[in-house]
Structure formats: structure tokens, C-alpha cells
């Protein structure tokens, strides 16, 4: 395991014939790009593939993966094991593929790895190795009932896009692997790097569950005006400040009417709606990642009062802050 300063974070992906290529390539691309964006002197990620036999491994799409490390090769302690999956569509409905060679390798390596992250139906493989017992987990919606039936020691929730339970991470189907990997990068290197990755890859930022909300900076067009681009960044960094139309217009030395008009033209929304969306996103993150009481959340994100937080969550998410936290809290253990 790469605990020493300067050594890359070792990610091992066990693959098998017929594995979903996107389960492997999606996270690998995110991790590679993260390494390019890290400041000079900070180590990125080293991704290795392992399989029962070396050589080309055919994926579900037929595109082969080149594998030069086998399960019985040199023993190592990975920082992260990322378990991909595959779902077959047959006469009896979707069936997850559980490769016994991968299961055997996971039983040996999994207990010693820094963390285990399962992609899509990879949760069935991880569960077969006994690593998800006692944990909350998710998987592809079409196989969630089967996961719950076959592994009663696992608490299965089919709704979230990804779940963290201690050192065990699981994600929903296919493209959710990207959301999961963004969350892993955020844990390793902070939210700012994850946000930059999301922008470059034109992705949502760390969707915490089954919601359809965009990350606000990605939901509105990038303005052609440098002053508005700078203002939008400043708003995101000063959510507890006075962000009324008069205050924002004054920052740009514009009349309130002219400011409101050009803001809507450039972004497709009003200044008030934009500010509220950013404050809601900040409140969501605090509810997902901290135990701060609701009054503190209201102050930190600029919504002011608990009553306002409740109104915004009710109007925009059709839920309460308490219910949101209960469902989407990312817990460490």
C-alpha cells in the first residue's frame, strides 16, 4: 500500500471475461485525469488490472482489455480495490455475473485493502466474497432485490447512486461509476479537485443519490462576460454574504435593472434563483457530509433561518432537511 509520501495511490481492478468495459475504463479515466490536475509534487493514482490469466480479456462489448498481472502474482496491499461487474439479460430477467476467480481473490486481498469500491453488479461479487456483510450497499436497480435475497447480511438500498459504509463503497449501474470515482477523488484530495474534474468531463458533481439536480455551476451556461464569470465564482465563495440584487449590482457598478437583465440573458436564470440554488447545494453538502445542526447549516449556506431551509427543501426537492440527511448522509463508519 502506498502510504509513503510521493508514492501513487494504488488502485487494483480485478477483471474477468465479459466484464462491462465502462465499469473499468470510466473510473480509470477519472483517476488518470485527477492525477493530471493535482499540484506538482502530489502523487496521483496508479491503476492496475488483474485477471485469472494474463493477456487480452474480452469485455461485454467485445473490446479487449490488456492484462499483464494475474491473481496469483505478487502479493500487494492496494489502497483501493475497484470491483467491476456485468449484468446478463436472459429469459428470467437481469442476472448479475459472479466470477468465482475474482471472488476467491477478493476473499484473500479484500480484508487488507484500504477500501473496496464496487461498480454496478460488482456489488454481487463483493458480497459473494463476504465483504459487504453488515454494511449498507446499493447496486444496479434491476438486481437489487436479488442482492438482498441472496445476501441477507447486507442492507440493500436500491435508490442512491452510491453509498459509503465504512471502507466499503458501492454504486448503481454503469455511469454511476463516474459519480463514485469522483467521490473517491474528493475523499482523497478534496471537493475542489472533484468539482474541477466534473467541469472538465461535463458531469454532475457527486450526485449523492437518486436526485436529478445538477451541480449548480454546471447547470447554467458559462457567461461570455468576464465580470459575470468572476461574480458567479465570488457568489459561490461567499454564500453567507448579502447576495441581494442591489448588492450584486453594486459589485459590478451596474444599475439593478441592467444587472438583472444581463444576468438572465447570460445565465438563463435570475440572480435570486441562482443564489438560492447555490445555497441549496451548499446545504445539501453539509447535510450529506456533516453532523452540523440545522441552524448552523442555515447560517453557513446563507439561507439564514431553519424556516427558510425547510421552505427551500420543500419547494425544490419535495422533502425535508431531516429526511434528506437520513437518506443521503455519507457516513464514515
Q: What integer pLDDT is reported at residue 3 of this predicted model?
A: 47
Residues 42 and 185 both lie in one domain? yes
Residue 233: inside a domain: yes
Instruction: Report the domain count for the chain.
Output: 2
How many residues in the chain?
333
pLDDT under 70: residue ranges of the chain: 1-6, 202-224, 327-333
Residues 187 and 251 both lie in one domain? no
Its pTM stands at 0.66
- The CATH number covering residue 307 comes to 1.10.10.60
Could you list the residue range(s) of the whole structural domain that residue 250 is in? 217-333
Of the listed 66, 97, 120, 301, which one is catalytic? 120
Q: 147 to each of 5, 129, 156, how far by Cα in Å?
A: 39, 13, 7
Residues 166 and 99 both lie in one domain? yes
Among 296, 312, 289, 301, residue whose Cα is nearest residue 235 = 301
Per residue in 245-257, pLDDT (tens digit) is 999 999 999 999 9
Last residue of a domain, one of 138, 168, 200: 200
Cα first-last separation, the chain:
21
Residues 279 and 310 both lie in one domain? yes
Q: 210 to each of 262, 307, 310, how far by Cα in Å?
A: 34, 25, 20
Residue 66 annotated to the active site: no
Q: How many CB atoms lie within 10 A of CB 93?
A: 12
Q: What integer pLDDT is reported at residue 96 of this predicted model?
A: 94
Q: What integer pLDDT is reported at residue 218 of this predicted model?
A: 44
Judge contact between 169 and 113, C-beta under 8 A.
no
Residue 41: inside a domain: yes
Which of helix, strand or coil describes residue 101? Answer: helix
Residues 223 and 190 both lie in one domain? no
Per residue in 167-198, pLDDT (tens digit) is 999 998 777 888 889 889 988 998 778 878 87
Last residue of a domain, one of 144, 171, 200: 200
Residues 139 and 35 both lie in one domain? yes
Amino acid at each position: 500500500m502506498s502510504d509513503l509520501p510521493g508514492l501513487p495511490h494504488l488502485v487494483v481492478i480485478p477483471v474477468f471475461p465479459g466484464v462491462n468495459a465502462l465499469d473499468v475504463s470510466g473510473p480509470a479515466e477519472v483517476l488518470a485525469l485527477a492525477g493530471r490536475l493535482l499540484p506538482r509534487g502530489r502523487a496521483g493514482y496508479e491503476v492496475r488490472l488483474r485477471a485469472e490469466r494474463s493477456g487480452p480479456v474480452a469485455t461485454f462489448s467485445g473490446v479487449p482489455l490488456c492484462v499483464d498481472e494475474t491473481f496469483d502474482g505478487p502479493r500487494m496491499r492496494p489502497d483501493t480495490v475497484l470491483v467491476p461487474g456485468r449484468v446478463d439479460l436472459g429469459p428470467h430477467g437481469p442476472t448479475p455475473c459472479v466470477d468465482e476467480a475474482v471472488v476467491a481473490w477478493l476473499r484473500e486481498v479484500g480484508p487488507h485493502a484500504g477500501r473496496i469500491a464496487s461498480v454496478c453488479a460488482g456489488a454481487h461479487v463483493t458480497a459473494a466474497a463476504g465483504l459487504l456483510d453488515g454494511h449498507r450497499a446499493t447496486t444496479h436497480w434491476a438486481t437489487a432485490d436479488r442482492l438482498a435475497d441472496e445476501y441477507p447480511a447486507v442492507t440493500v438500498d436500491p435508490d442512491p447512486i452510491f453509498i459509503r459504509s465504512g471502507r466499503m463503497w458501492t454504486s448503481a449501474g454503469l455511469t454511476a461509476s463516474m459519480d463514485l470515482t469522483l467521490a473517491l477523488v474528493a475523499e482523497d484530495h478534496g471537493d475542489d479537485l472533484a468539482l474541477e474534474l466534473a467541469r472538465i468531463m461535463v458531469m454532475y458533481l457527486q450526485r449523492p443519490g437518486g436526485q436529478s439536480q445538477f451541480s449548480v455551476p454546471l447547470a447554467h451556461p458559462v457567461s461570455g462576460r468576464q465580470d459575470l464569470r468572476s461574480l458567479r465564482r465570488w457568489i459561490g465563495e461567499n454564500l453567507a454574504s448579502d447576495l441581494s440584487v442591489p448588492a450584486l449590482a453594486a459589485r459590478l457598478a451596474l444599475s439593478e435593472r441592467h444587472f438583472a437583465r444581463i444576468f438572465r440573458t447570460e445565465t438563463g436564470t435570475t440572480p435570486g434563483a441562482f443564489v438560492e440554488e447555490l445555497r441549496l447545494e451548499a446545504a445539501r453538502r453539509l447535510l450529506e457530509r456533516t453532523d452540523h445542526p440545522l441552524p448552523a447549516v442555515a447560517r453557513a449556506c446563507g439561507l439564514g433561518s431553519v424556516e427558510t431551509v425547510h421552505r427551500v427543501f420543500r419547494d425544490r426537492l419535495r422533502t425535508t432537511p431531516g429526511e434528506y440527511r437520513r437518506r443521503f448522509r455519507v457516513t464514515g463508519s
